[in-house]
Amino acid sequence: MTIRLYDTSARQIRDFSPLTPGCVSIYLCGATVQAAPHIGHIRSGLNFDIMRRWFTYRGYDVTFVRNVTDIDDKIIKKSAEQGRPWWSIGYENERAFNSGYDVLGCLPPTYEPRATGHVTEMVEMMRGLIERGHAYEAEGNVYFDVRSFPGYLELSNQELDNLLQPSGEGETGKRDPRDFAMWKAAKPGEPSWETPWGRGRPGWHLECSAMAHKYLGAAFDIHGGGLDLIFPHHENEIAQAKAFGDAFAAYWVHNAWVTMSGEKMSKSLGNSVLVSEMVKHWRPIVLRYYLGTPHYRSMIEYSEEALREAEAAFARIEGFIQRVVEKAGPVEPAAEVPPAFAEAMDDDLGVPQALAIVHTTVRQGNSALTADDKESAVARLAEVRAMLGVLGLDPLDAQWADATSGRGDDLHGVVDSLVRLVLEQRQAARGRKDYATADAIRDQLQQAGLAIEDTPSGPRWSLS
């Protein structure tokens, strides 16, 4: 058994070899909390949640760190626009992100550090970089000297002479316009912390280098994030960490975007779809299916039609599960997933290929049900539950059962009672051979969004 991952730095799929046998350390660039999350933000969390689950299934002890960037230019700008404290905006949106991760079934990280809680570690890193000749202070700012680090831009495969480094307001005193800010001098009315170089606040890139070092040490296995972070963020993280003396990440894994009309989903473009709004219209487990089942390196073009297709595909899985449980009672997940599923997941987390095995197994189970082969149907359901558990999509798992408890169950019971009354009328019509009335009742229920299935044990309804 060997898990293989596409390593952005090597530009190829590599066999995964952990630094510590039996252990995996992962750092994922998490939320910048200037606004509530859209589904593009949460996709990254979902992809790495599936990665984490697969490593765990394969027997690894996983340490998963996902940071919170709770201070940066965007948050400060929002604070000025809204006339609210920067920390109030950050905390409100941090809670919104965590709510989004939770509602879509992501496991909580091992550690979730906030940038503002690690200024001490940032100062230590800057001091070390200045002593080693890789950084310098200028007018209260601290900059990284990109020419001092020969490996700069190897991740993004750019040429330094062609580089246009993004630069923020107030970044004065640079020796080279391509140098990037690790620390920004304080401005009136902005948050600041005391350092040997004066009061100021951290740069975005320094935050992650310092927190990765704090929680995972000088060397760790996997650094993850969206494609848009390769440059400048991850490139600058590497420069800081390695110039400081860290080996840093052994593998770099990047997920693709959710797009709308061909463009990356983004708050600034006004084309984002908030998670909090999506879950009002779509069941969270369906949204997880939609976002988590394409390959993590493939773009997802958002559309209502694609979501409906995902809903229909997942309904076929749920229908099979429901039918077996009705016939045989509760079925525990199998101890192991089918070999073909494992092979697909080992190959760069090939979720689409793995999902094809799920649907094939569902079809086999349905055939067993049709043949009244209860034993085979139960065996297929055990396999399906094991596979769905790895993907975080098992509807019988406690995380989804808890999510649907409470008022939702009460309403389901009420609806079930009302629908059964109507179905009894339909059965009575069929009994007296009044098929026109029976068909009309079925059609009316379908127009109301219910699918009716006639079974040997009587009619059954579900949301269509």
pLDDT, tens digit (0-9, with 9 covering 90-100), for 104-115 = 999 999 999 999
**Residue 407: its pLDDT value, please?**
41
Reported residue count of the chain is 464
Q: What is the pLDDT of residues 367-422, one digit of tens each?
A: 999 999 999 999 999 999 999 999 999 999 998 976 554 444 445 555 666 777 78
- Both tokens assigned to 302: 């958002």
**Residue 165: its pLDDT value, please?**
67
**Residue 426: its pLDDT value, please?**
87
As a three-state string, the secondary structure of the chain is: CCCEEEECCCCEEEECCCCCCCEEEEEEEEEECCCCCEHHHHHHHHHHHHHHHHHHHCCCEEEEEEEEECCCHHHHHHHHHHCCCHHHHHHHHHHHHHHHHHHCCCCCCCECCEHHHHHHHHHHHHHHHHHCCCEEEECCEEEECHHHCCCCCCCCCCCHHHCCCCCCCCCCCCCCCCCEEEEEECCCCCCCECCCCCCEEECHHHHHHHHHHHHHCCEEEEEEEEHHHHHHHHHHHHHHHHHHCCCEEEEEEEECCEEECCEECCCCCCCCCEHHHHHHHCCHHHHHHHHHCCCCCCCEECCHHHHHHHHHHHHHHHHHHHHHHHHHCCCCCCCCCCHHHHHHHHECCCHHHHHHHHHHHHHHHHHHHHCCCHHHHHHHHHHHHHHHHHHCCCCCCHHHHHHCCCHHHHHHHHHHHHHHHHHHHHHHHHHCCCHHHHHHHHHHHHHCCEEEEEECCEEEEEEC
Give per-10-residue mean pLDDT for the chain (464 aa).
96 98 98 94 97 98 98 94 96 97 97 98 98 97 97 96 76 93 94 96 96 98 98 97 98 95 72 87 96 97 94 95 94 98 98 98 97 98 98 94 51 64 83 88 82 73 69
Taking the C-alpha atoms of residue 398 and residue 392, their distance in angstroms, rounded to an integer, is 11
**Residue 412: its pLDDT value, please?**
55
**Residue 409: its pLDDT value, please?**
47
Q: Give me the half-sphere count of Cα atoms (radius 13 Å) on the Cβ side of residue 403.
A: 21
Q: Whole-structure pTM over 0.85, yes or no?
A: yes
**Residue 456: its pLDDT value, please?**
65
Phi, psi torsion values for 390, nearest 5 degrees: -65, -35
Query: Tokens 């997942």 appear where?
Result: 314
Residue type, 258: V
Residue type, 391: L
**Residue 429: its pLDDT value, please?**
86
- Both tokens assigned to 398: 């406690």
